[in-house]
Structure 1
Amino acid sequence: MSFQASYQVILLLVLNFEGLTIIRLKDDHDSEHAYKVKNTLIFNAFVMCQLFNEFNVRNPEEISCFKGVTKNYLFMGVIGFTLILQVIIIEFLGKFTSTVRLDWQLWLVSIGIGIVSWPLANVGKLILVPETPVTSYFTKPFRRNKASRNS
Protein backbone atom coordinates (compact mmCIF):
# COMPACT_ATOMS: atom_id res chain seq x y z
CA MET A 1 0.00 0.00 0.00
CA SER A 2 1.36 3.39 -0.91
CA PHE A 3 1.98 6.25 1.48
CA GLN A 4 -0.86 8.18 -0.11
CA ALA A 5 -3.39 5.38 0.33
CA SER A 6 -2.26 4.73 3.90
CA TYR A 7 -2.49 8.43 4.72
CA GLN A 8 -5.99 8.68 3.30
CA VAL A 9 -7.29 5.54 5.04
CA ILE A 10 -5.89 6.59 8.42
CA LEU A 11 -7.05 10.18 8.02
CA LEU A 12 -10.58 9.25 6.97
CA LEU A 13 -10.91 6.70 9.77
CA VAL A 14 -9.75 9.25 12.34
CA LEU A 15 -12.19 11.83 10.97
CA ASN A 16 -15.00 9.28 10.93
CA PHE A 17 -14.54 8.14 14.52
CA GLU A 18 -13.13 11.28 16.17
CA GLY A 19 -14.24 14.00 13.75
CA LEU A 20 -16.91 15.48 15.99
CA THR A 21 -14.34 15.97 18.75
CA ILE A 22 -11.64 17.24 16.40
CA ILE A 23 -13.84 19.89 14.79
CA ARG A 24 -15.42 20.71 18.16
CA LEU A 25 -18.98 19.66 17.35
CA LYS A 26 -19.33 16.88 19.93
CA ASP A 27 -21.35 19.08 22.30
CA ASP A 28 -23.40 20.72 19.53
CA HIS A 29 -27.09 20.90 20.42
CA ASP A 30 -28.11 19.78 16.93
CA SER A 31 -26.38 16.40 16.70
CA GLU A 32 -27.89 15.62 13.29
CA HIS A 33 -26.36 18.79 11.81
CA ALA A 34 -23.04 18.01 13.53
CA TYR A 35 -22.93 14.56 11.89
CA LYS A 36 -23.75 16.09 8.50
CA VAL A 37 -20.91 18.61 8.90
CA LYS A 38 -18.52 15.82 9.88
CA ASN A 39 -19.57 13.65 6.93
CA THR A 40 -19.34 16.58 4.53
CA LEU A 41 -15.84 17.34 5.82
CA ILE A 42 -14.85 13.69 5.28
CA PHE A 43 -16.19 13.80 1.72
CA ASN A 44 -14.52 17.13 1.00
CA ALA A 45 -11.19 16.01 2.48
CA PHE A 46 -11.29 12.83 0.39
CA VAL A 47 -11.93 14.78 -2.80
CA MET A 48 -9.15 17.26 -1.95
CA CYS A 49 -6.74 14.36 -1.36
CA GLN A 50 -7.62 12.98 -4.80
CA LEU A 51 -7.36 16.40 -6.41
CA PHE A 52 -3.92 17.18 -4.96
CA ASN A 53 -2.70 13.64 -5.62
CA GLU A 54 -3.44 14.12 -9.34
CA PHE A 55 -0.39 16.40 -9.42
CA ASN A 56 1.73 13.61 -7.91
CA VAL A 57 0.69 10.95 -10.40
CA ARG A 58 1.19 13.13 -13.47
CA ASN A 59 4.87 12.28 -13.53
CA PRO A 60 5.72 9.69 -10.86
CA GLU A 61 9.47 9.74 -11.54
CA GLU A 62 9.89 13.48 -10.94
CA ILE A 63 10.34 14.82 -7.42
CA SER A 64 8.69 18.13 -8.33
CA CYS A 65 5.04 17.51 -9.12
CA PHE A 66 4.74 20.98 -10.67
CA LYS A 67 7.24 20.59 -13.50
CA GLY A 68 5.48 21.50 -16.74
CA VAL A 69 2.04 21.57 -15.15
CA THR A 70 1.01 24.89 -16.69
CA LYS A 71 1.85 23.64 -20.19
CA ASN A 72 -0.75 20.86 -19.94
CA TYR A 73 -4.01 22.72 -20.54
CA LEU A 74 -6.14 19.58 -20.39
CA PHE A 75 -4.76 18.72 -16.96
CA MET A 76 -5.31 22.25 -15.69
CA GLY A 77 -8.85 22.16 -17.08
CA VAL A 78 -9.62 18.88 -15.31
CA ILE A 79 -8.24 20.24 -12.02
CA GLY A 80 -10.22 23.48 -12.37
CA PHE A 81 -13.42 21.68 -13.36
CA THR A 82 -13.09 19.22 -10.46
CA LEU A 83 -12.53 22.04 -7.96
CA ILE A 84 -15.46 24.10 -9.25
CA LEU A 85 -17.72 21.04 -9.26
CA GLN A 86 -16.70 20.24 -5.68
CA VAL A 87 -17.56 23.75 -4.52
CA ILE A 88 -20.95 23.51 -6.27
CA ILE A 89 -21.65 20.11 -4.70
CA ILE A 90 -20.78 21.22 -1.18
CA GLU A 91 -22.25 24.69 -1.25
CA PHE A 92 -25.34 24.35 -3.46
CA LEU A 93 -26.41 20.72 -3.94
CA GLY A 94 -26.88 19.75 -0.30
CA LYS A 95 -30.32 18.20 -0.69
CA PHE A 96 -29.24 16.14 -3.69
CA THR A 97 -25.86 15.03 -2.29
CA SER A 98 -26.68 14.92 1.45
CA THR A 99 -24.04 17.52 2.24
CA VAL A 100 -24.14 20.77 4.18
CA ARG A 101 -22.31 24.01 3.56
CA LEU A 102 -18.88 24.20 5.15
CA ASP A 103 -17.52 27.38 6.69
CA TRP A 104 -14.23 28.79 5.42
CA GLN A 105 -12.22 27.20 8.26
CA LEU A 106 -13.38 23.70 7.29
CA TRP A 107 -12.62 24.46 3.65
CA LEU A 108 -9.09 25.41 4.71
CA VAL A 109 -8.83 22.21 6.76
CA SER A 110 -9.91 20.18 3.71
CA ILE A 111 -7.38 21.92 1.47
CA GLY A 112 -4.64 21.50 4.10
CA ILE A 113 -5.40 17.79 4.33
CA GLY A 114 -5.10 17.55 0.55
CA ILE A 115 -1.85 19.53 0.41
CA VAL A 116 -0.18 17.01 2.74
CA SER A 117 -0.20 14.58 -0.20
CA TRP A 118 2.52 16.61 -1.95
CA PRO A 119 5.33 16.17 0.60
CA LEU A 120 4.07 12.67 1.37
CA ALA A 121 4.48 11.69 -2.27
CA ASN A 122 8.04 13.06 -2.25
CA VAL A 123 8.89 10.88 0.75
CA GLY A 124 7.42 7.88 -1.07
CA LYS A 125 9.48 8.65 -4.18
CA LEU A 126 12.71 8.63 -2.15
CA ILE A 127 12.20 5.05 -0.94
CA LEU A 128 14.15 2.59 -3.04
CA VAL A 129 12.08 -0.17 -4.61
CA PRO A 130 13.78 -3.61 -4.77
CA GLU A 131 14.15 -5.26 -8.18
CA THR A 132 12.63 -8.49 -6.88
CA PRO A 133 9.10 -8.01 -5.58
CA VAL A 134 8.85 -8.70 -1.86
CA THR A 135 5.83 -10.94 -2.45
CA SER A 136 7.97 -13.42 -4.39
CA TYR A 137 9.78 -14.30 -1.16
CA PHE A 138 6.50 -15.31 0.44
CA THR A 139 5.05 -17.29 -2.48
CA LYS A 140 8.16 -19.33 -3.46
CA PRO A 141 7.80 -21.99 -0.74
CA PHE A 142 4.24 -22.66 -1.88
CA ARG A 143 4.98 -23.03 -5.59
CA ARG A 144 5.44 -26.45 -7.03
CA ASN A 145 8.08 -26.82 -9.72
CA LYS A 146 7.06 -27.74 -13.28
CA ALA A 147 8.59 -31.21 -13.11
CA SER A 148 6.41 -32.28 -10.17
CA ARG A 149 3.25 -30.93 -11.87
CA ASN A 150 3.80 -32.92 -15.06
CA SER A 151 4.27 -36.27 -13.34
Structure 2
Amino acid sequence: KLVYFKKAIEDMATGSLRRVAIAYRTYEAEKVPENEEELSRWELSEEELVLLAIVWIKDPCQPDVRGGVELCQNAGVKVYMVIGDNLETARAIALECRILKSVEEAAESNLIEGAVFGALSDTEKEEIVEKISVMRSSPNDKLLLLQALKRRGHVVGVTGDGTNNALALREDQDDIGLAVGIKGTEVAKANSDIIILDDNFASVVKVSFSGRSVYANILKFIQFQLTVDVVTLIINVVSASSSGDVPLNIVQLLWVNVIMGTLSALALVTEPLTDQLMNRPLVG
Protein backbone atom coordinates (compact mmCIF):
# COMPACT_ATOMS: atom_id res chain seq x y z
CA LYS A 1 0.00 0.00 0.00
CA LEU A 2 2.83 2.39 0.80
CA VAL A 3 4.24 1.98 -2.72
CA TYR A 4 0.77 2.54 -4.17
CA PHE A 5 0.27 5.77 -2.22
CA LYS A 6 3.73 7.05 -3.11
CA LYS A 7 3.04 6.38 -6.78
CA ALA A 8 -0.32 8.17 -6.53
CA ILE A 9 1.31 11.19 -4.88
CA GLU A 10 4.02 11.34 -7.55
CA ASP A 11 1.41 11.14 -10.31
CA MET A 12 -0.50 14.00 -8.70
CA ALA A 13 2.67 16.07 -8.46
CA THR A 14 3.47 15.63 -12.15
CA GLY A 15 -0.07 16.78 -12.96
CA SER A 16 0.44 20.11 -11.10
CA LEU A 17 -1.96 18.97 -8.38
CA ARG A 18 -1.58 19.93 -4.74
CA ARG A 19 -2.10 17.09 -2.30
CA VAL A 20 -3.85 17.06 1.07
CA ALA A 21 -3.80 13.95 3.24
CA ILE A 22 -6.75 13.37 5.57
CA ALA A 23 -6.08 11.16 8.59
CA TYR A 24 -7.30 10.53 12.12
CA ARG A 25 -6.19 8.91 15.34
CA THR A 26 -7.88 7.92 18.56
CA TYR A 27 -7.16 9.99 21.64
CA GLU A 28 -8.42 10.02 25.19
CA ALA A 29 -10.81 12.91 25.63
CA GLU A 30 -9.67 13.50 29.22
CA LYS A 31 -6.20 14.44 27.97
CA VAL A 32 -7.48 17.19 25.70
CA PRO A 33 -7.08 20.61 27.42
CA GLU A 34 -10.32 22.43 28.13
CA ASN A 35 -8.74 25.81 28.73
CA GLU A 36 -8.67 27.86 25.51
CA GLU A 37 -5.16 29.17 26.11
CA GLU A 38 -3.77 25.69 26.73
CA LEU A 39 -5.75 24.32 23.79
CA SER A 40 -4.18 26.89 21.45
CA ARG A 41 -0.71 25.61 22.41
CA TRP A 42 -1.65 21.94 22.44
CA GLU A 43 -0.50 19.76 19.55
CA LEU A 44 -1.84 16.35 18.69
CA SER A 45 0.85 13.76 18.15
CA GLU A 46 1.31 12.77 14.51
CA GLU A 47 2.12 9.18 15.40
CA GLU A 48 -0.31 6.30 14.87
CA LEU A 49 -2.38 8.24 12.37
CA VAL A 50 -4.83 6.33 10.19
CA LEU A 51 -4.95 7.56 6.61
CA LEU A 52 -8.46 8.14 5.31
CA ALA A 53 -7.80 9.72 1.93
CA ILE A 54 -5.47 11.80 -0.19
CA VAL A 55 -7.27 14.68 -1.84
CA TRP A 56 -5.87 16.54 -4.81
CA ILE A 57 -6.55 20.20 -5.47
CA LYS A 58 -6.15 21.77 -8.88
CA ASP A 59 -4.93 25.37 -8.85
CA PRO A 60 -5.21 26.29 -12.54
CA CYS A 61 -3.36 29.17 -14.13
CA GLN A 62 -5.41 32.27 -14.74
CA PRO A 63 -6.52 32.59 -18.37
CA ASP A 64 -4.22 35.54 -19.09
CA VAL A 65 -1.08 34.08 -17.52
CA ARG A 66 0.11 32.02 -20.49
CA GLY A 67 -0.32 34.92 -22.92
CA GLY A 68 1.35 37.30 -20.48
CA VAL A 69 4.35 35.01 -20.03
CA GLU A 70 4.76 34.64 -23.80
CA LEU A 71 4.57 38.42 -24.26
CA CYS A 72 7.28 38.89 -21.63
CA GLN A 73 9.50 36.27 -23.23
CA ASN A 74 9.08 37.81 -26.69
CA ALA A 75 10.01 41.17 -25.20
CA GLY A 76 13.24 39.76 -23.76
CA VAL A 77 11.93 39.60 -20.20
CA LYS A 78 12.69 36.27 -18.55
CA VAL A 79 10.06 34.99 -16.12
CA TYR A 80 11.28 32.99 -13.13
CA MET A 81 8.95 30.88 -11.02
CA VAL A 82 9.99 30.55 -7.39
CA ILE A 83 7.56 28.27 -5.59
CA GLY A 84 7.20 26.40 -2.34
CA ASP A 85 5.75 23.22 -3.88
CA ASN A 86 7.95 20.26 -4.69
CA LEU A 87 9.94 20.32 -7.90
CA GLU A 88 7.67 17.96 -9.85
CA THR A 89 4.62 20.13 -9.17
CA ALA A 90 6.65 23.22 -10.03
CA ARG A 91 7.72 21.62 -13.32
CA ALA A 92 4.11 20.82 -14.27
CA ILE A 93 2.88 24.34 -13.40
CA ALA A 94 5.75 25.92 -15.35
CA LEU A 95 4.84 23.85 -18.42
CA GLU A 96 1.19 24.81 -18.06
CA CYS A 97 2.05 28.52 -17.80
CA ARG A 98 4.57 28.28 -20.66
CA ILE A 99 7.46 29.40 -18.48
CA LEU A 100 8.96 26.14 -19.73
CA LYS A 101 7.88 25.73 -23.34
CA SER A 102 8.50 22.02 -23.77
CA VAL A 103 9.30 18.83 -21.90
CA GLU A 104 12.87 19.16 -23.18
CA GLU A 105 13.18 22.53 -21.45
CA ALA A 106 11.87 20.98 -18.24
CA ALA A 107 15.22 19.26 -17.77
CA GLU A 108 17.18 19.33 -14.55
CA SER A 109 19.39 22.18 -15.83
CA ASN A 110 16.39 24.56 -15.82
CA LEU A 111 15.08 23.52 -12.40
CA ILE A 112 16.82 23.63 -9.07
CA GLU A 113 16.12 23.14 -5.40
CA GLY A 114 16.57 26.26 -3.31
CA ALA A 115 18.77 24.42 -0.83
CA VAL A 116 21.10 23.34 -3.65
CA PHE A 117 21.25 26.88 -5.03
CA GLY A 118 21.87 28.35 -1.59
CA ALA A 119 24.79 26.01 -0.99
CA LEU A 120 26.65 27.27 -4.07
CA SER A 121 29.28 29.98 -3.92
CA ASP A 122 28.48 33.45 -5.27
CA THR A 123 30.47 32.74 -8.42
CA GLU A 124 28.66 29.46 -9.04
CA LYS A 125 25.29 31.15 -8.45
CA GLU A 126 26.08 33.78 -11.07
CA GLU A 127 27.12 31.10 -13.56
CA ILE A 128 23.83 29.18 -13.42
CA VAL A 129 21.32 31.89 -12.47
CA GLU A 130 20.53 32.76 -16.10
CA LYS A 131 20.04 29.11 -17.05
CA ILE A 132 17.44 28.16 -14.47
CA SER A 133 13.75 29.07 -14.79
CA VAL A 134 12.10 27.29 -11.88
CA MET A 135 13.18 27.06 -8.26
CA ARG A 136 11.63 25.38 -5.28
CA SER A 137 12.78 27.50 -2.42
CA SER A 138 12.32 29.30 0.85
CA PRO A 139 12.05 33.12 1.02
CA ASN A 140 15.76 33.30 1.84
CA ASP A 141 16.66 31.31 -1.30
CA LYS A 142 14.46 33.66 -3.32
CA LEU A 143 16.50 36.55 -2.00
CA LEU A 144 19.75 34.81 -2.99
CA LEU A 145 18.39 34.33 -6.53
CA LEU A 146 17.48 38.01 -6.69
CA GLN A 147 20.92 39.10 -5.51
CA ALA A 148 22.66 36.82 -8.03
CA LEU A 149 20.62 38.31 -10.89
CA LYS A 150 21.45 41.84 -9.78
CA ARG A 151 25.16 41.01 -9.61
CA ARG A 152 24.87 39.90 -13.23
CA GLY A 153 23.60 43.38 -14.08
CA HIS A 154 19.93 42.53 -14.63
CA VAL A 155 17.00 44.77 -13.81
CA VAL A 156 14.85 42.62 -11.53
CA GLY A 157 11.16 42.84 -10.71
CA VAL A 158 9.77 40.71 -7.88
CA THR A 159 6.16 39.74 -7.24
CA GLY A 160 4.87 38.49 -3.92
CA ASP A 161 1.86 38.35 -1.64
CA GLY A 162 2.99 37.10 1.75
CA THR A 163 4.87 38.47 4.71
CA ASN A 164 7.75 36.14 3.88
CA ASN A 165 8.19 37.95 0.54
CA ALA A 166 8.66 41.34 2.20
CA LEU A 167 12.46 41.09 2.25
CA ALA A 168 12.68 40.42 -1.50
CA LEU A 169 10.15 43.18 -2.23
CA ARG A 170 12.13 45.82 -0.36
CA GLU A 171 13.42 48.73 -2.41
CA ASP A 172 17.07 48.09 -1.55
CA GLN A 173 16.86 44.46 -2.67
CA ASP A 174 15.12 44.65 -6.05
CA ASP A 175 14.64 47.25 -8.78
CA ILE A 176 10.87 47.08 -8.64
CA GLY A 177 8.62 45.23 -6.20
CA LEU A 178 5.07 44.26 -7.13
CA ALA A 179 2.62 43.11 -4.46
CA VAL A 180 -0.85 41.73 -5.13
CA GLY A 181 -3.68 43.81 -3.74
CA ILE A 182 -6.42 41.26 -3.00
CA LYS A 183 -4.55 38.35 -1.44
CA GLY A 184 -1.44 40.28 -0.46
CA THR A 185 -0.61 41.06 3.14
CA GLU A 186 -0.16 44.60 4.40
CA VAL A 187 3.53 43.91 5.02
CA ALA A 188 4.05 42.90 1.39
CA LYS A 189 2.19 45.97 0.14
CA ALA A 190 4.17 48.29 2.39
CA ASN A 191 7.48 46.96 1.03
CA SER A 192 6.48 47.05 -2.65
CA ASP A 193 6.69 49.80 -5.26
CA ILE A 194 3.55 48.83 -7.20
CA ILE A 195 0.38 47.11 -5.99
CA ILE A 196 -1.47 44.96 -8.53
CA LEU A 197 -5.10 45.54 -7.63
CA ASP A 198 -6.58 42.61 -9.58
CA ASP A 199 -3.95 39.97 -8.62
CA ASN A 200 -3.51 39.20 -12.31
CA PHE A 201 -0.15 38.44 -13.92
CA ALA A 202 -1.37 40.19 -17.07
CA SER A 203 -1.20 43.44 -15.09
CA VAL A 204 2.55 42.90 -14.70
CA VAL A 205 2.76 42.90 -18.49
CA LYS A 206 0.81 46.17 -18.55
CA VAL A 207 3.40 47.68 -16.21
CA SER A 208 6.13 46.72 -18.68
CA PHE A 209 3.99 48.05 -21.53
CA SER A 210 3.56 51.39 -19.78
CA GLY A 211 7.24 51.71 -18.96
CA ARG A 212 8.27 51.04 -22.54
CA SER A 213 5.61 53.45 -23.80
CA VAL A 214 6.89 56.26 -21.59
CA TYR A 215 10.47 55.59 -22.70
CA ALA A 216 9.48 55.49 -26.39
CA ASN A 217 7.46 58.72 -26.07
CA ILE A 218 10.37 60.51 -24.42
CA LEU A 219 12.65 59.45 -27.27
CA LYS A 220 10.10 60.64 -29.84
CA PHE A 221 9.74 64.01 -28.13
CA ILE A 222 13.51 64.51 -27.90
CA GLN A 223 13.89 63.56 -31.56
CA PHE A 224 11.12 65.95 -32.57
CA GLN A 225 12.48 68.80 -30.45
CA LEU A 226 16.02 68.35 -31.72
CA THR A 227 14.77 68.31 -35.31
CA VAL A 228 12.91 71.60 -34.84
CA ASP A 229 15.79 73.28 -33.00
CA VAL A 230 18.51 72.10 -35.39
CA VAL A 231 16.52 73.11 -38.48
CA THR A 232 15.75 76.52 -36.97
CA LEU A 233 19.41 77.00 -36.06
CA ILE A 234 20.60 76.07 -39.55
CA ILE A 235 18.08 78.41 -41.21
CA ASN A 236 19.12 81.34 -39.01
CA VAL A 237 22.86 80.67 -39.37
CA VAL A 238 22.69 80.29 -43.16
CA SER A 239 20.48 83.37 -43.55
CA ALA A 240 22.67 85.47 -41.27
CA SER A 241 25.80 84.38 -43.15
CA SER A 242 24.40 85.02 -46.62
CA SER A 243 22.15 88.08 -46.20
CA GLY A 244 23.10 89.45 -42.81
CA ASP A 245 19.53 89.10 -41.55
CA VAL A 246 17.71 86.32 -39.66
CA PRO A 247 14.19 85.19 -40.65
CA LEU A 248 13.22 84.36 -37.05
CA ASN A 249 13.95 86.68 -34.15
CA ILE A 250 14.15 85.67 -30.50
CA VAL A 251 10.45 86.20 -29.75
CA GLN A 252 9.42 84.16 -32.78
CA LEU A 253 11.77 81.35 -31.79
CA LEU A 254 10.26 81.29 -28.30
CA TRP A 255 6.75 81.10 -29.77
CA VAL A 256 7.78 78.23 -32.04
CA ASN A 257 9.19 76.30 -29.09
CA VAL A 258 6.25 77.01 -26.78
CA ILE A 259 3.51 76.15 -29.28
CA MET A 260 5.16 73.25 -31.07
CA GLY A 261 6.77 71.84 -27.94
CA THR A 262 3.55 71.85 -25.92
CA LEU A 263 1.32 70.43 -28.64
CA SER A 264 3.84 67.77 -29.67
CA ALA A 265 4.31 66.71 -26.05
CA LEU A 266 0.55 66.29 -25.62
CA ALA A 267 0.29 64.32 -28.85
CA LEU A 268 3.12 61.97 -27.97
CA VAL A 269 2.04 61.37 -24.37
CA THR A 270 -1.47 60.35 -25.43
CA GLU A 271 -0.31 57.82 -28.02
CA PRO A 272 -1.96 54.42 -27.43
CA LEU A 273 0.06 51.34 -26.46
CA THR A 274 0.89 48.91 -29.26
CA ASP A 275 2.12 45.31 -29.24
CA GLN A 276 5.16 46.41 -31.22
CA LEU A 277 6.57 48.00 -28.06
CA MET A 278 6.97 44.55 -26.50
CA ASN A 279 8.85 43.26 -29.53
CA ARG A 280 11.60 45.83 -29.22
CA PRO A 281 14.92 44.82 -27.67
CA LEU A 282 15.62 45.74 -24.07
CA VAL A 283 17.43 48.99 -23.32
CA GLY A 284 20.22 49.16 -20.77
TM-score with structure 1 setting the length: 0.33
More strand by share: 2
TM-score with structure 2 setting the length: 0.19
Larger radius of gyration: 2
Higher relative contact order (CA 8 A, sep 6+): 1
